[in-house]
């Protein structure tokens, strides 16, 4: 007996979340006896709440295949966190209502920690309402903060982009340091954890090689130690490359970006942290500087995605469908690392209850004692995640990314749903 | 009779200036009967003034070949402009002194407008001092502001990087615009001309496709018209992607970045223009925004260099040596466009006197009447420059860029030279 499936993309997007969608859709098509159609939520879970579903069966096999090399969220994503079951039971009941109306028996939710929590709650409610739905969370986040899985698909490609950009910009700065810019600051994402900043450490292997300083959210900013290190780097190597996490904090735990922006200018949203760091250096050491803020470029850079990451992103999508068909409910596929070198990995899965509301922090053993670099342990973990390239096809000098038709599924309910 | 050659890299570096070095060195090695050794200036022309020369003959053929795929300036570059012959004749005489001491008969200077001027002056002085030296300027600049040549090597790769980054980041913003960020601002280089900003226009081909607004230095910032356009884009497409040149100016010709930074904060060097633009939007329209500042990433991104650009960068280096051997003096190789589609180009050359102190502006016909987009004429010019990919080799997930030995040539003069 076949049922329809519902798939939604959630939260900040990545270079490879569509590769996961590709894995879900291609695998579902191979199991037409079990999964009739896959409906996608337009703009993520909002599409379900508003009964705005996309009929993916109207897309050709070639179009679905092209999702593998297209960044962003092809069906639209949303930053919308469903609240607790007690707080807003209506939202969960609405989801079940929609699922019933469209004969949906599978719920695939592709996101981070919040999404795993939502998928978990839907599975609990479906039990209590006696409406059977197989819920599978699929990991995705550049923040790499989901527990149990070795890595979150999406992270490896950001890591690769940042490591490459650090290496490249460093060659630029080094070329000119004698007579021009001596300090380069690159601001990267990571509001709560330094995973992405850590990845920049892969750009070099000796203290002489950039980045010379990494500022992690995990290491409270010690201005004096920092300036000493910058000065040392400039005196010794004639230049200094600094990678700073947007989440870098002062000794009191306040974001450097926020505090400085508030104190000095009164504009809370103006600053990035890179200009703050740069101006501290300029003020105390007088070095000429440049800074870059990678922002969305880092998480959409499909043109230089990690092949390992793309493969894993596809594989978790594929595995999610296989798990669901096997009758596994309330689970999330995981990446299991078998060995570091040669890098080998396999797929596993874990109960959503073990994932929901648990955040994986970067281990303290990944950051050097002085707080400004990564350790060999960290390097061993990160190295395989950026291996391999997976170039998209090009047309007219630009990546040939696909746009879907995203045709709407006819509505079956007469009711609208108002978000509270 | 063979003479040594002197090669120096000058000014801001690019993703492909080393491809030009590769062209110079490989071609010189093929003409050992005419060019004995190529000495490179350590840190550009400063290496000549300080008699700090690099013996490139100590590098293997494989190392020289790897320059083709390595960004930055392998011998070091410098922002150092020699002043006029009358103002500081001593510097030019010092160059000639160094050339004499090291039996240098060829001077290859790889840079922008200032460097072409220097090469031209050296050629004039060598005549008046009766010391024969063949001077060839080699074009390089991401700013694309040298006259006569169809394009400056270095520009095509920045153009490709910016067009790709715009397309990718736009997919990210579009994915989330329903519930999150609606406006994305990308700041690109180009203090005096909008060539790089214009390249972002290649990312889309219809008004619905990003970038929705481009801010050029050539079009004084009209806040009202700008806000109207942003609002229209968000209302119509649910998001708005803006690319702003660092050189965008207000109606009085002041840099937006500078004026705002000075007026509001008193920190002249703090601001980029992206946060200024973003905050204007936020203040007047209330949209949630993100911004990125590409800075050095854009001109060092060899991982996604344009194949046309790499080929042309190599070709001008090769042609420079061929011209010199043919006895052409005080010239610069040029790229000659033969046809737009299919794109065909050949090599030519021009007298340095026709290049020195002339800046190529972006034609007014390249910017749309409203000042916020590129025209079909501009698109026809830009399109071929980003064609093709030229991926570097990778090791451990990172581009395998080469570092030279850069062994010093033993000094022959007893005198030091003090820059004034």
pLDDT by position in tens, chain A (length 420): 799 999 999 999 999 999 999 999 999 999 999 999 999 999 999 999 999 999 999 999 999 999 999 999 999 999 888 888 888 889 999 999 999 999 999 999 999 999 999 999 999 998 888 899 999 999 999 999 999 999 999 999 999 999 999 999 999 999 999 989 999 999 999 988 999 999 999 999 999 999 999 999 999 999 999 999 999 999 999 999 999 999 999 999 999 987 544 433 344 444 599 999 999 999 999 999 999 999 999 999 999 999 999 999 999 999 999 999 999 999 999 999 999 999 999 999 999 999 988 889 899 999 999 999 999 999 999 999 999 999 999 999 999 999 999 999 999 998 888 887
Give the other-Cβ count within 10 Å of A237's Cβ: 17
Are B105 and B5 in contact by the 8 Å Cβ rule? The answer is: yes
Interface test mutation site (partner A, options B9, B48, B76, B172, max chain A beta carbons within 10 A) = B172
Q: d(Cα A333, Cα A345) in Å, to the nearest integer?
A: 13
pLDDT for position B261: 45
- Pairing type for strands A398-399 and A394-395 reads antiparallel
Burial readout A105-136 (b: 16 or more C-beta within 10 A, e: otherwise): bbbbbbbbbbbbbbbbbbbbbbeeeeeebbbb
Q: Cβ contact (<8 Å) for B165 and A80?
A: no
- How far B327 CA sits from the closest chain A CA (Å)? 31
Report pTM.
0.97
Nearest CA-CA partner of A74 in A34, A38, A120: A38
User: Does B72 contact A164 at a Cβ distance shorter than 8 Å?
Assistant: no
Dist CA B116 CA A174 (whole Å) = 23
CA A138 – CA A119 distance, rounded (Å): 10
DSSP string, B303-340: GG-BHHHHHHHHHHHHHHHHHHHTT--SEEEEEEEEET
Residue count (chain A): 420
CB contact, 8 Å: B148 with chain A? no
3-state secondary structure A57-103: HHCCHHHHHHHHHCCCCCCCCCCCCCCCCCCCHHHHHHHHHHHHHCC
Which residues does chain B have with pLDDT short of 70?
259-271
Phi, psi of A182 (to 5 degrees): -110, -25
From the list A287, A149, A190, A188, the residue with the least C-alpha distance to A229 is: A287
- Closest partner residue to B171 (CB to CB) among A80, A174, A401 is A401
**If we measure between CA atoms, which residue out of A69, A37, A45 comes closest to residue A302?**
A69
Q: Which of B78, B265, B401 is facing A171, going by the closest CB pair?
A: B401
Please give the C-alpha separations between residue A248 and each of A232, A245, A365, in angstroms, as whole numbers: 21, 5, 18
For residues A393 and A400, the answer to whether their CB atoms sit within 8 Å is yes
CA angle B157, A187, B240 (to 5 degrees): 65
Cα–Cα–Cα angle for B372, B375, B379, rounded to 5 degrees: 120
| Residue of chain A nearest B270, judged by CA positions | A275
Task: Classify each residue of A388-420 as buried b or exposed e, where b means 16 or more C-beta atoms within 10 Å of its C-beta.
Answer: bbbebebeebbbebbebeeeebeeeeeeebeee
* Whole-number pLDDT of residue B266: 42
Do the chains contact at B389 and A388, CB–CB below 8 Å? no
Per-residue pLDDT, B262: 42
Does residue B161 belong to the interface with chain A, where contact is any CB pair within 8 Å?
Answer: no
Q: Which H or E run contains A104?
A: strand A104-111
Secondary structure percentages of chain B, helix, strand, coil, to 5: 40, 20, 40
Using CA coordinates, name the residue in chain A closest to B264: A265
Does A253 sit behind a cis peptide bond, omega within 30 degrees of 0 on the bond before it? no
Measured CA angle at B76 (ends B109, B397), to 5 deg: 120
Closest chain B CA to residue A270: B275
Which of helix, strand or coil describes residue A265? helix
pLDDT digits (tens, 9 = 90+) for A369-412: 999 999 999 999 999 999 999 999 999 999 999 999 999 999 99
Tracing tokens 């649910």 back to the chain, one arrives at B238
Distance of CA A243 to the CA centre of its chain: 19
pLDDT of residue B269: 44
Q: Which token pair is A216? A: 């992690």
**Radius of gyration in angstroms for the set of CA atoms belonging to chain B, rounded to a whole number:** 23
**Tally: H helices and E strands in chain A:** 13, 13
> Which residues 218-277 of A are in CB contact (within 8 Å) with B?
264-265, 267, 269-272, 274-275
A389 three-state secondary structure = strand
For B105, half-sphere exposure in the C-beta direction (CA atoms, 13 angstrom radius) is 14
Taking the alpha carbons of A339, A345, A350, A354 in that order, is the dihedral positive or negative? positive
Going along chain B from its start, the domains and CATH numbers come out as 3-140+304-357+391-399 (3.40.50.450), 155-300 (3.40.50.460)
Short-list A214, A308, A280, A370, CA closest to A19: A308
CB < 8 Å from A in window 2-31 of B: 9, 12-13, 15
Q: Is A204 on the interface with B (CB under 8 A)?
A: no
Q: Return the closest-CA partner of residue A155 out of A139, A145, A142.
A: A142
Which positions in chain B touch A265 (Cβ < 8 Å)?
Answer: 264-265
pLDDT at A259: 57
């Amino acid at each position: 007996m076949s049922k329809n499936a519902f798939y939604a993309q959630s939260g900040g997007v990545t270079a490879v979340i569509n590769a996961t969608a590709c894995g879900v859709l291609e695998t579902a098509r191979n199991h037409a006896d079990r999964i009739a159609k896959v409906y996608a939520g337009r703009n993520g879970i909002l599409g379900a709440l508003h009964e705005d579903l996309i009929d993916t069966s109207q897309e050709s096999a070639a179009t679905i295949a092209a999702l593998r090399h297209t960044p962003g969220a092809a069906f639209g994503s949303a930053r919308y966190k469903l609240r607790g079951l007690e707080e807003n039971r209506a939202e969960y009941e609405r989801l079940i209502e929609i699922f019933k109306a469209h004969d949906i028996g599978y719920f695939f939710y592709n996101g981070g920690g919040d999404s795993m929590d939502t998928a978990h709650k839907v599975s609990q409610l479906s039990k209590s309402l006696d409406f059977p739905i197989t819920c599978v969370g699929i990991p995705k986040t550049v923040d790499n903060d989901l527990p149990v899985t070795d890595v979150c698909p999406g992270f490896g490609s950001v890591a690769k982009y940042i490591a490459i950009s650090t290496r490249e910009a460093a060659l630029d700065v080094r070329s000119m340091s004698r007579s021009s810019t001596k300090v380069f600051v690159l601001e990267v994402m990571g509001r709560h954890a330094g995973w992405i900043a850590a990845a920049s450490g892969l750009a070099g292997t000796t203290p002489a090689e950039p980045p010379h300083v990494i500022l992690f959210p995990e290491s409270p900013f010690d201005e004096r130690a920092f300036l000493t290190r910058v000065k040392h780097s400039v005196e010794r190597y004639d230049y200094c490359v600094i990678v700073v996490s947007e989440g870098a904090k002062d000794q009191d735990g306040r974001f450097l970006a926020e505090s400085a922006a508030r104190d000095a200018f009164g504009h809370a949203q103006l600053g990035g942290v890179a200009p703050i760091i740069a101006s501290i250096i300029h003020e105390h050491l007088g070095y000429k500087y440049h800074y870059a803020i990678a922002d969305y470029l880092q998480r959409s850079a499909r043109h230089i995605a990690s092949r390992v990451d793309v493969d894993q992103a596809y594989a978790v999508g594929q595995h999610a469908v296989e798990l669901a068909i096997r009758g596994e409910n309330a689970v999330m596929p995981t990446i299991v690392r078998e060995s570091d070198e040669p890098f080998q990995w396999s797929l596993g899965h874990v109960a959503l209850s073990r994932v929901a509301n648990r955040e994986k922090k970067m281990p303290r053993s990944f950051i050097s004692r002085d707080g400004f670099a990564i350790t060999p342990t960290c390097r061993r973990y990160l190295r395989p995640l950026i291996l391999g390239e997976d170039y998209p096809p090009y047309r007219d000098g630009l990546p040939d990314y696909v746009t879907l038709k995203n045709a709407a599924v006819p509505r079956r309910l007469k009711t609208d749903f108002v978000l509270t």
